[in-house]
């Protein structure tokens, strides 16, 4: 009985010690490449194939899913802390840029977009949102484009909301407003440039 008690005490001490190691803390929001934003709900010891393995228990509330990530492999798995303010600023700057659509087959572009979404990189995710966003005056997206766009948008919304401690609705509104203003500004600039070109052509014709 004393042996069991001693063993339990050692395990409790080991758990407490491991939990205080430098890394992710219980209650911390993280980003896991394949699933987006989750929350560390525990740091536990599990016996796998006869070995004691320490794992982060990560809950993805919206997806109703729990993931167990070995602490020793967290960094190599791509699991990371939320982006800082500078990265967040760069992500919104990316949204304001012009969409960059490669002239390649859609199947290839779709693979590239999917890779960016699953990279866990907020900047790359914002590129997909920017490139696949469609304004009211633009052609509608295909089904597959819409799926990728919504996936990228959801990933970005979740991280922005977590960084700003805001709700998802507020984060979504900010992202869509940024995209809409950028498209309106770009359209106005293009119209002005077209008007100037036409004016120059008229002057040349008159001359």
- Give the pLDDT score at 147: 96
- Give the pLDDT score at 2: 43
Q: Assess whether pLDDT exceeds 70 at residue 204.
A: no
DSSP codes of every residue in 96-134: HS-----SS-HHHHHHHHHHHHTTT-HHHHHHHHHHH--
Q: From the CB of residue 201, how many other CB atoms can be counted at a distance below 10 Å? A: 10
- Give the pLDDT score at 200: 53
pTM of the entire predicted model? 0.79
| Reported confidence tier of residue 195, pLDDT bands at 50, 70, 90 | low
Query: Tens digit of pLDDT for each residue in 8-51?
Result: 444 444 444 444 355 899 999 999 999 999 999 999 999 888 88
Greater confidence (76 vs 16) lies with: 76
Is the CA virtual torsion 65, 70, 75, 81 positive or negative? positive
- Give the pLDDT score at 14: 43
Query: Tens digit of pLDDT for each residue in 51-74?
Result: 899 999 999 988 899 999 999 999
Which CATH number fits the domain 85-193, given the four candidates 3.30.70.890, 1.20.1730.10, 1.20.58.1290, 1.10.10.10?
A: 1.20.58.1290
- Give the pLDDT score at 192: 76
Is the CA virtual torsion 137, 138, 142, 144 positive or negative? negative
- Give the pLDDT score at 69: 95
Q: What is the mean pLDDT of residues 187-194?
A: 74
Q: Assess whether pLDDT exceeds 80 at residue 85.
A: yes
pLDDT > 90: percent of the chain: 64
Q: From the CB of residue 153, how many other CB atoms can be counted at a distance below 10 Å? A: 21
Greater confidence (195 vs 99) lies with: 99
Query: Tens digit of pLDDT for each residue in 116-162?
Result: 999 999 999 999 999 999 877 777 888 999 999 999 999 999 999 99
**CB under 8 Å to 54, separation ≥6 — which residues?**
18, 43, 44, 45, 46, 70, 71, 72
Q: Where in the chain are the domains? A: 2-81, 85-193
- Give the pLDDT score at 83: 97
Q: Assess whether pLDDT exceeds 50 at residue 4.
A: no
Fold adopted by 2-81: Thrombin, subunit H (2.40.10)
Burial class (CB in 10 A: 0-12, 13-18, 19+), 43: buried
Greater confidence (198 vs 111) lies with: 111
| Reported confidence tier of residue 197, pLDDT bands at 50, 70, 90 | low
């Amino acid at each position: 009985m004393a042996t069991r008690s001693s063993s339990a005490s050692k395990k409790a001490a080991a758990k407490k010690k491991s939990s205080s190691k430098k890394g992710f803390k219980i209650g911390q929001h993280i980003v896991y490449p394949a699933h987006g934003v989750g929350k560390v709900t525990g740091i536990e010891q599990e016996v796998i194939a006869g070995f004691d393995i320490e794992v982060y228990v990560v809950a993805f509330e919206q997806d109703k899913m729990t993931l167990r990530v070995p602490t020793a492999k967290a960094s190599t798995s791509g699991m990371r802390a939320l982006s800082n303010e500078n990265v967040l600023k760069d992500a919104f700057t990316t949204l304001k840029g012009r969409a960059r659509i490669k002239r390649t087959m859609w199947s290839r572009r779709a693979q590239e977009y999917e890779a960016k979404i699953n990279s866990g990189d907020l900047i790359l995710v914002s590129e997909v949102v920017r490139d696949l966003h469609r304004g009211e005056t633009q052609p509608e997206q295909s089904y597959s484009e819409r799926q990728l766009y919504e996936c990228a948008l959801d990933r970005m919304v979740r991280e922005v909301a977590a960084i700003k401690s805001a709700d998802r609705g507020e984060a979504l509104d900010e992202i869509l407003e940024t995209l809409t203003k950028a498209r309106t500004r770009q359209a106005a600039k293009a119209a002005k440039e077209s008007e100037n070109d036409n004016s120059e052509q008229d002057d040349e014709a008159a001359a």
